[in-house]
Amino acid sequence: MLARVGNYLCGDGQPLLLIAGPCVLQTRELAMEIGETLAQINERPDVNVVFKASFDKANRTSLAAKRGPGIDAGLRLLEAVGADSGLPVTTDIHLPEQAAPAAEVCELLQIPAFLARQTDLLVAAANTGRAVNVKKGQFMAPTDMRYAIDKLRGSFPVSDTISNPVEDDEPVPGKVLVCERGTFFGYGRLVNDMQSIPIMRSLGAPVVFDATHSVQQPGGLGGATGGNREMVEPLARAAVAIGCDALFFETHPQPETSPSDGANMIYLDQFAGLVDRLLRLRETVEGL
Amino acid sequence: MLARVGNYLCGDGQPLLLIAGPCVLQTRELAMEIGETLAQINERPDVNVVFKASFDKANRTSLAAKRGPGIDAGLRLLEAVGADSGLPVTTDIHLPEQAAPAAEVCELLQIPAFLARQTDLLVAAANTGRAVNVKKGQFMAPTDMRYAIDKLRGSFPVSDTISNPVEDDEPVPGKVLVCERGTFFGYGRLVNDMQSIPIMRSLGAPVVFDATHSVQQPGGLGGATGGNREMVEPLARAAVAIGCDALFFETHPQPETSPSDGANMIYLDQFAGLVDRLLRLRETVEGL
Amino acid sequence: MLARVGNYLCGDGQPLLLIAGPCVLQTRELAMEIGETLAQINERPDVNVVFKASFDKANRTSLAAKRGPGIDAGLRLLEAVGADSGLPVTTDIHLPEQAAPAAEVCELLQIPAFLARQTDLLVAAANTGRAVNVKKGQFMAPTDMRYAIDKLRGSFPVSDTISNPVEDDEPVPGKVLVCERGTFFGYGRLVNDMQSIPIMRSLGAPVVFDATHSVQQPGGLGGATGGNREMVEPLARAAVAIGCDALFFETHPQPETSPSDGANMIYLDQFAGLVDRLLRLRETVEGL
Amino acid sequence: MLARVGNYLCGDGQPLLLIAGPCVLQTRELAMEIGETLAQINERPDVNVVFKASFDKANRTSLAAKRGPGIDAGLRLLEAVGADSGLPVTTDIHLPEQAAPAAEVCELLQIPAFLARQTDLLVAAANTGRAVNVKKGQFMAPTDMRYAIDKLRGSFPVSDTISNPVEDDEPVPGKVLVCERGTFFGYGRLVNDMQSIPIMRSLGAPVVFDATHSVQQPGGLGGATGGNREMVEPLARAAVAIGCDALFFETHPQPETSPSDGANMIYLDQFAGLVDRLLRLRETVEGL
């Protein structure tokens, strides 16, 4: 089971796919700094890094919360980071009309968890021919992600569909990733059902574990979303051990200055060390 | 605490607001038949009826599932039902650009539960000046609906904002309804936390209880969503007893022929009887 | 569907069974005061009151928390309250060996929710021939209560079994009640799935709604269990509307002085008013 | 953070503690066969094995289900297995009076999850001076296990208390283990919140991960409890990666013949291989 993301392959026997970045785009300097650190990590042969940042936080808790630079400025900045760092880039889209412009810049399009069932958004993303990473809704069972996968597979361009058939036992890589990012578990709390990782893999798509958002505490901080950074690495270790194909982290040189998710992010200067531990763990897991 | 929906008032001391219709628009004949039955119910002084139908089911489980007539044909049909029955009409919108055209026809705009946190959609809805009914996301705590309410209240036209101030103790009616439609409770099942009704009322908006969708069983039927019609009336009774201001039901002369939600819908010829029982119960509750 | 509790009948067409008392036994004066108030309520024809108090709180959060007078002194006190008030009495048992002595005093034995699957405890309770009220475990589905019911029905004395056959359509009253008291809903919170009331009724036993414990907040107060008294009446109204056969409340003249559950209890001087409102609601429900 | 179980130490820097056996005691031959296999595994320096079997399944779903040989015959058999295999043995107790006789044979006493809050049972177990393994109730938050730990620590014999002080930073080993075995997650399903492992470790007791019971499906099979053996190893890997100190498995040469939990158990002839993979994983984790 494989998926192709730009020039990378993700899945069985492939390097870990690492999706990382600063949550939302802020300054050009910040994006470049993070892109540079990630490009250094990407020199390892056992990892393939994709730079991720949002141009718009479309579901902030409060109207007054900062949202990002918007799609035009955001995509220009992502393009610049990609050119500078040499990394493929990804971003999340919220409306069908955002798919095509985002696909001009991004090798991978991300569908937010709340929107995982919005048919038009999935169709628009697949129509671009780019790889798509769908986050499992906090309100969905892992087996229900088969429907998101089917919507995408039925909507890639014909030339792609030929080379990305639905059958799971085909050696031809697909273009769909699915992502575990936590499931509703009582008001204001998420739980990671680690069984979702092998269950979603059995649907025929490589699985991303979103370690950063899994430790969110929705509504936990009044008008903002809280979090618990200390649990990011423990959960990522568990996800690697149970067989995830990709990891997602938010990282920032100064998380406390980020407009969102600051409580969950990994300090940029600690990120390479974290990745190194997880790759050593993955090497053992692959050999079991 | 009041909200104005067209010429109706909903909330403390007001008639029950009853939002009802056939889930998705099918034929003109069907819509007219249901509108006629609802108009008869509307002759009671203790109830105010709004006709509801969707023009597009935007998050169907499967790509192949029928979605509806689309926004243009759908709004024309809603307009005709409204003219014919004399009832105000409502529909659900999925993209910000749908708010303005829908508002030309509808006295009330409905925000789907999965989209309850999409800021741009809420803002676009409120910008129309129409009343807005936001369903509580299956992944949200009732107290977190305060943020949806705030996003709406901050986005109504200025002339409206003057007459719809944020303070809850104002006698001037607002334009926001919030809706309990079930909360995620393990994979494939929803639970109604009936405490959410008084909790959301305490946020300053009248509360709708969506009796039909509360008995959905997500993912329960393979590629479709299951349901349990027998629980619709018992849950509606409980919601009335705990103090909801409005009820939402799907009703259809032949539920088994509906493209969606057939397992939850009330038979149209049994609907007036159901409403009568609930209104008798509400009369007692109001007198306690 | 009926159950016999002492001289009372509970279930279809019968008066509401009301189980009430001070949580745990404290002084003789307190028990007598509460018994007297309950005896006055019992003069109404539409309600049958059972006095309930615990002799031991066997699962307190902390070792240091007060537990009660113990079984010997506790049963003596219950006996005195019963004699004085003329009410039947009930208590909860925690070990099989407590069933027989408790049954000498109590017309109804209560099985705690955490212990709802302990076979020996259920068998010992049924062996006494007394009616038994089993609380649904916070970790159990309502349909799984059929196994608790079966364990009891298979263990009543033979003479009783003859007159209490398993078939649900028999007019002969049974001796089993089951109780909804909240289900685990994320750490530290319970939810009442009101559907559990009709679902458990369909298993052939009348259903008690425990309004007091349903508003507990487990672990919410450090070493004690928190609660939310304001939600007791709203939830009780919803339970009556959906068709419960019996209600359970804790009541106390000074809840804040109770060794446990103080945050949930109803003030004794407000109790008759609460019961009156619920009985008026039930009268309407019965007539629908 | 350490705990002593017989001659073993469990916790920081210690070999993995492995608790394993056939769920319930059946024949002497079976117990001896399993004990022999476990004794071979115990020859590895990186693991310490405890033989576990129940003498009574006290909370079976149905009255007719087999329960085991009872306490007297069961303890004799456990004693024989211990003598034959050279392994320490453990069993679960359900009533306070079972603690003392079980402690004559067992180096470790196990408290079932449903009974994790029964004060008298915890006190009786600790009074024996043996180590105690408390399973976290399916209805409990991991932080709430502090109360179970406190009840035990306050009840060990005085001579033990001196050498097992409450302070977590003491180098002297304690005698309490806590166990993650799944949390209620909607009717009929459990979820493992892997965060519970580091959270409960932070309470000062080594943590066992019960891989077998975590895959139970309560009520999933009509009158019996279902399960999913395929998820046992994936979950155990995740638990090792996140830092558990001990693992619990049920193993049986022919799981399908076991009176209970057959759907969850590991085949005995595959058990050493499973353990080997987990120990190799743990070695890497310890070196990160």
- From chain C, the residues in CB contact with B283 under 8 A are 284
Q: Compute how many other C-beta atoms are within 10 angstroms of the C-beta atom of residue D76.
A: 15
Confidence of residue D219 (pLDDT cuts 50, 70, 90): low
Looking at every residue in chain C, the average pLDDT score rounds to 92
Closest to A15 measured CA to CA, from A59, A64, A50: A50
Q: Output the DSSP codes for A117-173.
A: T-HHHHHHHHHTTSEEEEEPPTT--GGGHHHHHHHHHTTS-HHHHHHS-S-TT-SS-
- pLDDT band at residue D223 using 50, 70 and 90 as cut-offs: low
Interface test with B, best of A111, A161, A184 (most B CBs within 10 A): A184
Tokens 């009335």 correspond to B240
At A46, give phi and psi (nearest 5°): -95, 15
Inform me whether the C-beta atom of residue C63 falls under 8 Å from chain D C-beta atoms.
yes
CB neighbourhood size of D20 (10 A) = 25
d(CA D46, CA D48): 7
The confidence score (pLDDT) of residue A66 equals 87
Torsion of CA C235, C240, C243, C244, to 10 degrees: 80
Span D178-187, pLDDT tens digits: 999 999 999 9
Please name which of B179, C187, B142 lies closest in space to residue D191, comparing C-alpha atoms: C187
Q: Which residue of C has its CA nearest to B237?
A: C241
Burial of C220 (0-12, 13-18, 19+ CB in 10 A): middle
CB contact residues (below 8 A), chain C span 80-109, against chain D: 94-96
Q: Does D26 touch chain C (CB under 8 A)?
A: no
Taking CA–CA distances from C184, the nearest residue in chain A reads A186
Per-residue pLDDT at D102 = 98
Nearest to A96 by CA among C253, B97, C189: B97
Amino acid at C224: A
C184:D58 CB<8 A = no
What mean pLDDT is reported for chain A? 92
The domains found in chain B, sorted by start residue, are 2-287 (3.20.20.70)
With 90 as the cut, is the pLDDT of residue C193 above it? yes
Q: Looking at the DSSP assignment, which residues form a beta bridge with residue C217?
A: C226
Question: Is C117 at the interface with chain B, CB within 8 A?
Answer: no
User: Nearest chain C Cα to B275, which residue?
Assistant: C288
Tell me if D195 and A234 make a contact (CB, 8 A cut-off).
Answer: yes
Q: A138 at the D interface (CB within 8 A)?
A: no
Alpha-carbon gap: D215 to the closest alpha carbon of chain B (Å): 15
Alpha carbon of C96: minimum distance to chain B alpha carbons (Å): 34
Query: For D7-50, what is each residue's pLDDT tens digit?
Result: 999 999 999 999 999 999 999 999 999 999 999 999 999 999 99
pLDDT at residue D246 tops 60: yes
Res. C166 pLDDT band, cuts 50 70 90: very low
What residues in chain A have per-residue pLDDT under 70?
A: 159-172, 219-226
Q: Count CB pairs under 8 A between chains A and D.
A: 83
> Residue D56 pLDDT more than 50?
yes
Q: What is the number of other CB atoms lying within 10 angstroms of the CB of residue A178?
A: 30
User: Among A42-56, B117-131, D247-261, whose mean pLDDT is lowest?
Assistant: D247-261
Beta-ladder partners of A267: A252
| Chain B interface includes D139 (CB < 8 A) | no
- Identify the residue whose tokens are 């980020």: A258
Residue B128 to residue B205: CA distance in whole angstroms: 19
Q: What is the per-residue pLDDT for D222?
A: 52
- In chain D, the percentage of residues whose pLDDT exceeds 90 is 81
Q: Is some CB atom of chain C closer than 8 A to the CB atom of A188?
A: yes
Q: Return the residue matching tokens 């009543």.
A: C156
**For residue B222, what pLDDT band results from cuts at 50, 70 and 90?**
low
How sure is the predictor about D226, in pLDDT bands with cuts at 50, 70 and 90? low
Among B192, B240, B243, select the one facing C194 at the smallest CB separation.
Answer: B192
Q: Is the pLDDT of residue B12 over 50?
A: yes
- The CB density around residue B147, as the number of other CB atoms within 10 Å, is 25
Please state the rounded mean pLDDT for residues D39-68. 94
* pLDDT score at B159: 62
D274 Cβ neighbours under 8 A, 6+ residues apart: D233, D236, D249, D266
* Interchain pair B189, D185: CB under 8 A: no
The string of pLDDT tens digits covering residues B66-109 is 899 999 999 999 999 999 999 999 999 999 999 999 999 999 99
> Which chain D positions have a beta carbon within 8 Å of A198's beta carbon?
231, 234
pLDDT at D225: 60
Higher pLDDT, C10 or B169: C10
Per residue in C249-284, pLDDT (tens digit) is 999 999 999 888 788 899 999 999 999 999 999 999
- Contact yes or no for B234 and C288 at CB 8 A: no
Which of C185, C202, C242 best tests the B interface by mutation, with the highest count of B CBs <10 A?
Answer: C242
CA-nearest residue to C191 within chain B is B193
Examine the pLDDT at D166 and tell me if it is beyond 80: no
Pairing of strands A183-184, A190-191: antiparallel
Residue C219 contacts D, CB cutoff 8 Å:
yes
Which candidate, B286, B274, B234, B285, places its Cα nearest to that of B18?
B274
Helix (H, G, I), strand (E, B) or coil at C147: helix
D189 touches chain B (CB under 8 A): yes
Q: Please determine, for residue B198, whether its predicted confidence score (pLDDT) is greater than 50.
A: yes
Residue B253 has pLDDT above 90, yes or no: yes
Residues of D in contact with B186 (CB under 8 A): 185-189
Residues 6+ apart with CB under 8 A from A105: A75, A78, A79, A82, A89, A91
Q: Is the dihedral of CA B138, B142, B148, B152 positive or negative?
A: positive
Pairing between strand C131-135 and C176-180? parallel
Residues of D whose CB is below 8 A from C196: none
Count how many Cα atoms sit within 13 Å of the Cα of residue A13 in the half-sphere of its side chain.
Answer: 4
The answer to whether C137 and D114 are in contact (CB under 8 A) is yes
- Asked if B186 is an interface residue toward chain D (Cβ–Cβ < 8 A), one would say yes
The pLDDT assigned to A185 comes to 96
> Which 8-state DSSP code applies to residue B257?
G
End-to-end Cα separation, chain C, in angstroms: 19
The C-alpha atoms of residue B189 and residue A141 are separated, in whole angstroms, by 10
Whether the per-residue pLDDT at D221 is higher than 70: the answer is no
| Residues D125, D129: Cα–Cα separation, whole Å | 8
Residue C190 pLDDT exceeds 60: yes
Is it the case that residue C170 has pLDDT exceeding 60? no
| Residue C222 pLDDT greater than 90, yes or no | no
**Within 10 A of A287 (CB to CB), how many other CB atoms are there?**
10
Q: Pairing between strand B16-21 and B8-11?
A: unpaired
Report whether pLDDT(B221) > 70.
no
Query: Residue C133 — pLDDT band, cuts 50, 70, 90?
Result: very high
Contact between A207 and A180 under an 8 Å Cβ cutoff? The reply is yes
Chain A residue numbers touching C187 (CB-CB < 8 A): 185-186, 189
Q: What is the pLDDT of residue C225?
A: 60
Average pLDDT (C123-139) is: 97
pLDDT of residue B167: 54
Residue A187 and residue C186: Cβ atoms within 8 Å? Answer: yes
CA distances to D5, D34, D49, D58, D159 from D8, rounded to whole Å, are 5, 20, 9, 29, 19
Q: Locate tokens 């003479």: which residue? A: C159
Q: Does D198 touch chain A (CB under 8 A)?
A: yes
Interface size, chain A vs chain C, as Cβ–Cβ contacts under 8 Å: 13
Instruction: State the nearest Cα–Cα gap between C239 and chain A, in angstroms.
Output: 22
pLDDT at A219: 62
> Which residues does C165 contact at the CB level (< 8 Å), separation at least 6?
C172
Return the biggest CA–CA distance within chain A.
50
Q: Which residues of chain B make contact with D187, given a CB cutoff of 8 A?
A: 185-186, 189
Q: What is the mean pLDDT of chain B?
A: 92
CA atoms within 13 A on the CB side of B72: 0
Partner chains of D (3+ C-beta pairs under 8 Å)? A, B, C
Could you tell me if B253 and B32 are in contact, meaning their C-beta atoms sit under 8 angstroms apart?
Answer: no
User: Rounded to an integer, what distance in angstroms lies between the CA atom of residue D8 and that of residue B258?
Assistant: 65
Bridge-based pairing state of the strands C89-92 and A224-226? unpaired
Contact criterion met (CB below 8 Å) for B108 and B90: yes
Tens digit of pLDDT for each residue in A160-210? 544 554 455 555 689 999 999 999 999 989 999 999 999 999 999 999 999
Nearest CA in chain B to D183: B186
Higher pLDDT, C231 or C167: C231
DSSP result, D171-239: SS-BSEEEEE--EE-STT-EE-BTTHHHHHHTTTS-EEEETTGGG-EEEEETTEEE--GGGHHHHHHHH
Question: Residue C172: its pLDDT value, please?
Answer: 66
Q: Determine whether the interchain pair A62/B151 forms a contact, defined as Cβ–Cβ distance below 8 Å.
A: yes
**So what's the pLDDT on residue D61?**
84
**Paired residues of D224 in beta bridges:** D221
Contacts of B136 in chain A (CB under 8 A): none
Q: Which residues pair with C209 in a beta bridge?
A: C180, C247
Least confident of D59-73, D106-120, D224-238: D224-238
